[in-house]
Amino acid sequence: MSELIVALDVSSTAAVEEAVDRLGDAVSFYKIGLELFSAEGPAVVKAVKERGKKVFLDLKLHDIPRTVERAVKSAGALRVDLMTIHASGGKAMIRAAKDAALTFGAAAPKILAVTLLTSLDQSDLDDLGVGRAVADQVRALGTLAVANGADGIVCSPKEVAAMRVALGPDALLVTPGVRPAGAAVGDQKRVATPAQAVRDGSTHLVVGRPILQAEDPYAAALAILAEMKER
Ligand code: C5P
């Protein structure tokens, strides 16, 4: 069963509390990103966890292994459920993140790797001296991450089917860029419907504006959950 994660792209803990309370029992998983965490810190994670919800802390860690290990330990102490690192940090960094997560036993946060930011294209890869095509780089970094202990990757709905084949049945595939049938696409370029994403093998769908900016966020969340079951 795929899970719905609502991206809390708001700027204060008060706005988070209002959104989480409004969505009530419809949503049990929330994403906290760099902007919100930089503004509000661990308090915002605690506010969501105190409401009995799961937290995806999306900080995209990329540093020397020892620093990433310590950051994962700090996040694990906040009882986050999912967190992100950059696969391009390399094998030792990925392993360090996973080993730190495992110290929390049954409560270990799952480690997701970001392969290539979707803001980068082929010319950026060329500038960086990466001599691979975008799709090959995404597959290579995803494979490297999972081979070194990552639980899965973040990827676009357009990459999900190929990454499911490349990474096998157990990898978590977390996909933003999901839009309910007929919804505004906004600045998302590579979108898919919830049913399509689930069908292609996505384990977690990350949805922000289509829910939080809806006139009735609760109804919007229920509609997306229903679409996820239509697979
Ligand atoms: O509002 P929307 O549904 O587009 O929000 C999707 C969330 O996923 C946002 O928090 C956004 O930053 C994140 N994300 C994304 N596309 C990526 C990576 C992350 O939309 N390629």
User: Any catalytic annotation for residue 60?
Assistant: yes
pLDDT at 230 over 90: no
Question: d(Cα 139, Cα 101) in Å, to the nearest integer?
Answer: 24
* 3-state SS string for 9-38: CCCCHHHHHHHHHHHHHHCCEEEEEHHHHH
Length of the chain: 231
Domain containing 169 equals: 3-228
Is there an atom of ligand 1 within 6 Å of 201 CB? Answer: no
Whether the CB-CB separation of 116 and 134 falls below 8 Å is answered with yes
CA distance 26 to 103: 31
Nearest to 27 by CA among 231, 224, 227: 224
pTM of the model: 0.96
Handedness of CA 192, 141, 152, 41 (dihedral sign): negative
Regarding the beta carbon of 149 and ligand 1, being less than 6 Å apart is answered: no
For residue 212, give both structure tokens.
């939080």
Smallest CA separation from ligand 1 atom 18, residue:
176
Give per-residue pLDDT as tens, 136-193: 999 999 999 999 999 999 999 999 999 999 999 999 999 999 999 878 788 877 789 9
> How much is the average pLDDT of 99-126?
96
Render pLDDT for 21-71 as a digit per residue (tens, 0 to 9): 999 999 999 999 999 999 999 999 999 999 999 999 999 999 999 999 999
Count of domains observed in the chain: 1
CATH code, 47: 3.20.20.70
- Nearest-atom number in ligand 1 for the CA of 187 is 4
CA of 177 to the centre of ligand 1 (A): 6
Write down the catalytic residue from 49, 53, 54, 60. 60
